[in-house]
Amino acid sequence: MKNSIILIGGLILSLSLLFTSCSREVESDLLLEAQNEELKYFDVPVIEGTLHFKNVDHFIQKSEELNLLAEENRIQEANKFFTSLELLNNNVKTELSQLEEGDTYNSILQSNADIITENLDYVINKPSLAPVLNRQGIVVIGANIYKYGKEEDRVYTNAVDKLKDELFENERPFTIKHQEETALRGNCHPTYNTASKAKCSRKVTITVKDVSLAFYDNSKGLWDVYGKIRFEGTPYKRRNNCKGSWKTYRTSNYLNISTCWWWTVNGQENNKETFYNTNNWWGINWTPTLNIKRGVPFNEITDWFLEIYRLDANYWSGGVSSPGAEIDCW
């Protein structure tokens, strides 16, 4: 099985964004500039260090194409054309892996505290977007600027012409707060479930979460909401006679998904399927993408998400043998 395989299940419904004539002019000028410079990352224009997608359809399609690639392939391409958040995070991990914990180690970690945590995880709430974001968590879709963060996401509408020198920061954005993540044992939490299995110096953690993405429709003043269920397994190790802090590391990974059932929170069943697969690669994840709702007012965005109600999955690594970390809830 190829190292780059990520199974994508579920129904992907097309979205279309219509822009005002002003927005079209801005978008066209910027894309023309990018074509003249011939600076592209997997055929997506890179302008002012930021990826520019034509519209939501383009963003969703290209994001899923990138998720099908192995991480090392994306990073290799990013090294040439686009300093992605994924590339930066990987560079920090690589540098730290060659050091013992100490002043130099801590200094590097502190100087990159805006993108990576002490456990070497992403700071942003939606790490699956790291391949298409820059260091500031920014991506341009149509005429809008999206900025993804730890506790909230911000959308600056019709602000693409203010990307240079971050002038858009002076504008008032739409701010979407992230839902609190808590885990319940036995019963599935509707949006976030996790489990760990540890030995003295090795640990594995499996996380299953609903990732909601909201996109602004400039022509209607309403929002289109996408939902993703993201499975991710992470291996950790620690030194100093099993008393050091946990750090991620590279090893063999195995994710087994026996069951995943979900529906939309309003009670109308969006999809219900059973999945099974085993994969092994670094940074393992599986993310089916499902459209949830179109034409949602801003104040109702957080009311539309995928509710998980049945999970049976486990994750293990070269350091923690099968069955490893298990989630079995309903």
Residue 4 falls inside a structural domain:
no
User: Using one digit for the tens of pLDDT, what is the confidence trace for 183-202?
Assistant: 444 578 877 888 999 988 99
| Residues 186 and 169 occupy one common structural domain | no
Asked if 47 and 162 touch (Cβ cutoff 8 Å), the reply is no
| Residues 163 and 185 occupy one common structural domain | no
The answer for residues whose C-beta is within 8 angstroms of residue 302's C-beta and 6 or more apart is: 176, 177, 179, 212
| Residues 75 and 105 occupy one common structural domain | yes
User: Using one digit for the tens of pLDDT, what is the confidence trace for 93-127?
Assistant: 888 888 877 889 899 999 999 999 988 889 998 88
| Residues 65 and 36 occupy one common structural domain | yes
What's the CA gap between 157 and 178, in Å, rounded? 20
| Residues 170 and 197 occupy one common structural domain | no
| Residues 205 and 247 occupy one common structural domain | yes
Q: What is the mean pLDDT of residues 74-80?
A: 91
Give backbone dihedrals phi and psi of 183, rounded to 5 degrees, phi first.
-115, 135
Q: Confidence class of residue 3 from pLDDT cuts 50, 70 and 90?
A: very low
Q: Which helix (H) or strand (E) holds 155?
A: strand 152-156
> Any idea of the CA torsion for 230, 233, 239, 245, to the nearest 10 degrees?
30
Q: Which of 19, 12, 9 is nearest to 216 (CA)?
A: 19
| Residues 153 and 249 occupy one common structural domain | no
Range of the domain at 65: 17-178
Residue 118 falls inside a structural domain:
yes
What is the reported pLDDT for 275? Answer: 55
Domain stop point among 118, 153, 178: 178
Minimum mean pLDDT among 65-69, 221-225, 316-320: which range? 65-69
Q: Would you say residue 301 has pLDDT above 90?
A: no
**What is the DSSP secondary structure assignment for residue 189, as one 8-state letter?**
P
| Residues 187 and 319 occupy one common structural domain | yes
| Residues 138 and 200 occupy one common structural domain | no
What is the reported pLDDT for 226? Answer: 86
| Residues 168 and 35 occupy one common structural domain | yes
What's the CA gap between 100 and 106, in Å, rounded? 10
> Any idea of the CA torsion for 6, 140, 51, 111, to the nearest 10 degrees?
-90
Asked if 294 and 202 touch (Cβ cutoff 8 Å), the reply is no
User: Using one digit for the tens of pLDDT, what is the confidence trace for 4-46?
Assistant: 333 223 322 232 333 333 333 344 454 445 444 568 999 999 9
**What is the DSSP secondary structure assignment for residue 173, as one 8-state letter?**
P
pTM above 0.85, yes or no: no
| Residues 170 and 194 occupy one common structural domain | no
Q: What is the number of structural domains in the chain?
A: 2
Domain stop point among 123, 157, 178: 178
| Residues 143 and 212 occupy one common structural domain | no
Give the end-to-end CA distance of the chain in Å, rounded to a whole number: 30
Domain stop point among 130, 159, 178: 178
Residue 8 falls inside a structural domain:
no
What's the CA gap between 189 and 191, in Å, rounded? 6
